[in-house]
Amino acid sequence: MAPKVNCRFSEHAQLLLDGRLPAEQEHEFRLHLEECPTCRGELSRLESVRKLLCDAASAPPPPCDRQALEAAVLGSPPARRFRWWIPALGTAMAAAAMLLWFLLPGGVRPPALPEPPPIPQAPIPAPARQALVSYSGSFMEPAAAEQTLPAVAFGEEIQAGPVAPLALRPAERISLVLWPGARIRLQERPDRSIELQLLSGECTLRRLPGAVPLRIQTGAVALWTVGTVLHVSMDAQGTATAELLEGELQEEDETSSARRLTAPVATSWSAGRRQPDRAPSSRAAEAVRFSKILDPATPGELGWVQVSSSPPGAEVWLEDNRLGLAPVLISRSDGEALELRLRAEGRREARAHVRIEGGRVLRQHLTLEPLPEPPPPAPRPPEDALARARTLLAAHEAEAAVALLEGRLRSRPGDVELRLLLADALRLSRRPEQALDHYRQVARTSRDPHVLEVALFEASRIELDVLNQPARALETLLAARRILPQGLLRQEVAFRLAECYLKLSDFGRAVRALQDYLRLYPQGTRAAEAQRLLSDLAEKGWR
């Protein structure tokens, strides 16, 4: 009788051998085996018993007495002397069979002796594992005629293109985005878990609860994921970095014992040495956000839509998110409805409504019609008029500049540069409402991103500082940040947002806006003022 094992994992050994242990518990049990000699011994004992029984079951049957068999079938059997030990032998064999029944782990019956011996057959090879493509910046046609779904094979090197990312589903509830230029290799381990080898570049992955175990190999370091949202990278010098935003990681390397990392944390390894832990970067958070747009990783059967355009290269938008340039391949769950928009310079926007069908690749081709020819541009005012207006403003003669610019604008109403300079002159001459109207008109008509940003920012200054309209100013600043997130005035926009929240008495959002400013611009021009405001709010209980 097997000795009693006093461990809460004692029953896991039999379940593991039977193939009935869930993936999450299997990964946890394998980690436990490295620390528990008792469970390792129990697993080894059960494996030995099972091997012994399987070897005994596969042994050839004893030789047959052909003459006795023919006599029994064709006539009376030859007379033989009664042998008393034959019934005793049968009883002993029956008792041994029952004993084996109770000793076998998990109550599994030993395989029956083959009678007659089976005809040898060639083993059926297991199908090669593949990773489904859930987003690609180019067409991913099936490699073979019998293959109908876009996929890449395990074991081969996978590389994203130089411009567009590549999103994959190695298994259900696991999504992986390779950023441009990244190279990886996916392998299936003997226990059916997945290993990802990062060769170079950056990738973002999300593993939802219930997925198969996932192991990440970056140089000499291995990471086991546990319900993880992670951004990993490897530079040209071989320095690997893991930035964990959700969940946990089990770290294993060649120089130290395993340790567990809990989000949020970032760590790096260079030449086998671990660098000090730190907070994840804003780049990693932005990569995770965009990876959710490319592949939401919702469970369910996948379907695809290939989007192309005439002319090629149109921008593909899904809701308010720019996915890339056509042609693109998009994957979503069965039954999901997509509202696609395609845009191109000098073309009318094209729209399409697509409902995903599981297991199928739909094709959507959109033609963008050219816009009508614009009227010939009005001749620009002489440069000396603009130069004269700027000279007057520099001399603090705002009223004279207003009169000059208004006269020119009456004959050139579509000139954006004239209107913007007039708005500046009206602001300096203390006519904020008129200046605000001109700034808003510039924002509506200008196609120059820099001019648009300046107009929105100056309009928010008047709304907040002069007209005391913080709600309107907040709306204007949010529009500026949404349209131009990397604009030249983004630092000032970030600080002015905090000022709007303060005037609205929304102190919680004000604290978060000030903290975001200091995180993004620790040496910014308004950093000292932001720190002072945070201290004042902290004294009042807002942290």
What's the mean per-residue pLDDT of the chain?
80
pLDDT of residue 6: 65
Q: Which range has the worst mean pLDDT, 94-108, 411-425, 508-522?
A: 94-108
pLDDT the model gives residue 535: 87
Which 3 state secondary structure label does DSSP give 270? Answer: strand
Residue 44 clears pLDDT 90, i.e. is over it? no
Mean pLDDT of all residues in 261-287: 85
Q: How confident is the model at residue 5 (pLDDT cuts 50, 70, 90)?
A: low
What pLDDT score was predicted for residue 55?
A: 67
Residue 86: pLDDT band with limits 50, 70, 90? very low
* Band (382; pLDDT cuts 50, 70, 90): low
Q: Which helix (H) or strand (E) holds 225?
A: strand 221-234
Mean pLDDT for the stretch of residues 398-414: 85
Q: Do the beta carbons of residue 188 and residue 211 sit within 8 Å?
A: no
Poorest-confidence range of 101-115, 136-150, 235-249, 372-386? 101-115
Where residue 143 falls among pLDDT bands split at 50, 70, 90? Answer: very low
Per-residue model confidence (pLDDT) at position 8: 74
Query: How many Å apart are CA 447 and CA 451, to the nearest integer?
Result: 8
Residue whose token pair is 């009206």: 426
Q: Under DSSP, is residue 134 helix (H, G, I), strand (E, B) or coil? A: strand
The string of DSSP letters for 313-347 reads: TPEEEETTEEEEESSEEEEEETT-EEEEEEE-TTB
For residue 278, the 8-state DSSP code is B
Q: Is the pLDDT of residue 309 over 90?
A: yes
Residue 369 has pLDDT above 90, yes or no: yes
pLDDT of amino acid 88: 47
Any long-range contacts for 57-60 (C-beta under 8 Å, 24+ apart)? 57/110, 57/111, 57/112, 57/113, 58/111, 59/113, 60/117
Q: pLDDT tens digits for 445-491? A: 888 888 888 888 888 888 888 888 989 888 888 888 888 888 888 88
Residue 529: left (phi > 0), alpha (psi -120 to 50), or beta?
A: alpha
Of the pLDDT bands very low, low, confident and very high (cuts 50, 70, 90), residue 59 is low
Sign of the dihedral through C-alpha 111, 117, 120, 121 = negative
Mean pLDDT, range 193-209, rounded to an integer: 89
Which domains are assigned to the chain? 12-50 (no CATH), 130-294 (2.60.120.1440), 302-367 (2.60.40.1120), 383-539 (1.25.40.10)
Task: Name the band, by pLDDT with cuts 50, 70 and 90, for residue 68.
Answer: low
Q: What is the mean pLDDT of residues 412-424?
A: 86
HEC string for 461-514? HHHHHHCCCHHHHHHHHHHHHHHCCCCCCHHHHHHHHHHHHHHCCCHHHHHHHH
Q: Give the pLDDT score at 62.
A: 62
Q: How far apart are CA 115 and CA 28, in angstroms?
A: 42
- In angstroms, the Cα distances linking 270 to 197, 205, 275, 283, 417 are 16, 22, 8, 20, 53
Burial, 415: exposed, middle or buried (Cβ in 10 Å; 0-12, 13-18, 19+)? buried
* Residues 335, 44: Cα–Cα separation, whole Å: 48
**315: confidence class by pLDDT, cuts 50, 70, 90:** very high
Q: Which of 374, 378, 454, 383 is nearest to 438 (CA)?
A: 454
Neighbour-count burial of 276, counting CB atoms closer than 10 A to its CB (0-12 exposed, 13-18 middle, 19+ buried): exposed
Position 65 scores a pLDDT of: 63
In the prediction, which pLDDT does 342 show? 93
Tokens 């990802």 belong to residue: 196
Tell me which of 82-91, 170-179, 366-375 is least confident: 82-91
Question: SS3 for 154?
Answer: coil
- pLDDT tens digits, residue range 165-194? 999 998 888 889 999 889 999 988 888 889
Residue 365 pLDDT class (50, 70, 90 cuts): very high
User: Is residue 226's pLDDT more than 70?
Assistant: yes
pTM over 0.75: no
d(CA 464, CA 353): 41
